[in-house]
Amino acid sequence: MASFFENCNPCRSTALEQLALITPKLGRRYANERNFDRGAGHHEGVTMLSPWIRHRLLLEEELASAALRAHSFQDAEKFIQEIFWRTYWKGWLELHPKVWADYKVTRDHDLYTWEKDEGLRRALAGVTGIKCFDHWLMELRQTHYLHNHARMWFASIWVFTLGLPWTIGADLFMQLLLDGDPASNTLSWRWVSGLQTQGKTYLARADNIEKYTEGRFKPDNQLALEAKPLEEIGLPNLKTLEIPMLPEGGKPSILLLHDDDLSPESAPLPHQDIVGIALMNGSERRSPSGVARNVYEFVEAGLEDAVQRLGNRCVLPSCKAEVKSVLQLAHQTGARRIISIHAPVGPVRDAIDDFVIQLGMTENSNGLVVEIGIRDWDAFCWPYAKKGFFNFRKNIPVLLSNLVVL
């Protein structure tokens, strides 16, 4: 099986080259081809840019701008909508952080109670006897990528045919996907299961799988014929979005660099103040089991790439984002604060929150605090993500006209 990982170099210059290569296909061709899953090594109908996008080695405005320079809005609309699906999910979770907190609690409970379940063991070993499902599991383990349609079918079979907890499936994806994202992943699994758009589920059908895998799979009489929505006690209340004030310039600062945003050079931060860098690889916190080694190393290399781009003119001293090391670095460099790019709800935010608490409890922290800068894209788009995507989608033209330079 062709290894996607081997071709997916976690650096921004490769990401930009890849975007340039793919741009001619982002018009009608993408709209017509995107639903076909032709298997590993043949995913030409989609971009496979997700590992770079997820870690912001490519920015949403760059993707939209590339597509709109090469195609009319009508032709590029489908691709642009997909980019906004990501933005929508991020904004929705930001407005409903309890869904992430509840997911973690339920996941940990489910992992404990299902530990010895034979059906779960067979699913995780890829020996369910449902050929397509077992194949997608192998593809996921080997390449750390799955086509969107395969993710939908896999999740649906997991929940409705195999009767397994959605949280454990979501956790498996978070361990193995190079693009494992707390918002897109958690909320997509919830959507398939009928928890997100309440009462609406996604049922994987044999004829649909046969059509969009071009006959590679035909799981006749193997799949559940109905998908009764899972239930939970209502959605939590909407949280008011807090947009932090951008850090003002003029104080020597340590940049806390993390895997939710690996393009610090374009972030709204006082770059001239940066005297040192604290590196946070938050991928280990995506799952209680950690992540696959390739996923961890993708983030490590992405952090290294970002450090090199930042230190273009001089090498900046760096350390791990642990309180003791950061305090030493502050002492060494004369830093008087820590600055960081806003991390949306998820494992990195959890890690930063823990860091801030520990820092606050440490004597000799010399009044060091963390100041956050949020990108215009997020600050502008997220307030529209209060309801469903179809409501959000209406705002795309106005969002584009404010955020994308052509």
Ligand X SMILES: Cc1cc2nc3c(=O)[nH]c(=O)nc-3n(C[C@H](O)[C@H](O)[C@H](O)COP(=O)(O)OP(=O)(O)OC[C@H]3O[C@@H](n4cnc5c(N)ncnc54)[C@H](O)[C@@H]3O)c2cc1C
Binding site for ligand X (CB under 6 A): 34, 46-50, 53-54, 82-83, 85-86, 89, 147-148, 151-152, 155, 173, 177, 179-181, 184-185, 188-189, 192
Least Å distance, CB 154 to ligand X, is: 7
Nearer to ligand X, 174 or 256 (CB): 174
- Is 220 exposed, middle or buried, given 0-12, 13-18 or 19+ CB atoms closer than 10 A? exposed
Nearer to ligand X, 172 or 254 (CB): 172
Nearer to ligand X, 86 or 342 (CB): 86
Least Å distance, CB 347 to ligand X, is: 12
Nearer to ligand X, 50 or 318 (CB): 50
Provide Rg for the chain, Cα atoms.
Answer: 22
Nearer to ligand X, 247 or 282 (CB): 282
Least Å distance, CB 247 to ligand X, is: 28
Nearer to ligand X, 34 or 337 (CB): 34
- HEC readout, the chain: CCCHHHHCCCCHHHHHHHHHHHHHHCCHHHHHHCCCCCCCCCCCCCCCCHHHHHCCCCCHHHHHHHHHHHCCHHHHHHHHHHHHHHHHHHHHHHHCHHHHHHHHHHHHHHHHHCCCCHHHHHHHHCCCCCHHHHHHHHHHHHHCCCCHHHHHHHHHHHHHHCCCCHHHHHHHHHHHCCCCCHHHHHHHHHHHHCCCCCCCCCCCCHHHHHHHCCCCCCCCCCCCCCCCCCCCCCCCCCCCCCCCCCCCCCCCEEEEEECCCCCHHHCCCCHHHEEEEEEECHHHHHCCCCCCHHHHHHHHHHHHHHHHHHCCCCCCCEEECCHHHHHHHHHHHCCCEEEEECCCCCHHHHHHHHHHHHHHHCCCCCCCCEEEECCHHHHHHHHHCCCCHHHHHCCHHHHHHHHCCC
Least Å distance, CB 18 to ligand X, is: 10
Least Å distance, CB 230 to ligand X, is: 14
Distance CA 87, CA 396 (A): 11
Least Å distance, CB 206 to ligand X, is: 18
Distance CA 159, CA 203 (A): 10
Distance CA 143, CA 186 (A): 21
Nearer to ligand X, 192 or 323 (CB): 192
Nearer to ligand X, 46 or 254 (CB): 46
Nearer to ligand X, 53 or 329 (CB): 53
Least Å distance, CB 405 to ligand X, is: 20
Least Å distance, CB 147 to ligand X, is: 6
Least Å distance, CB 169 to ligand X, is: 8
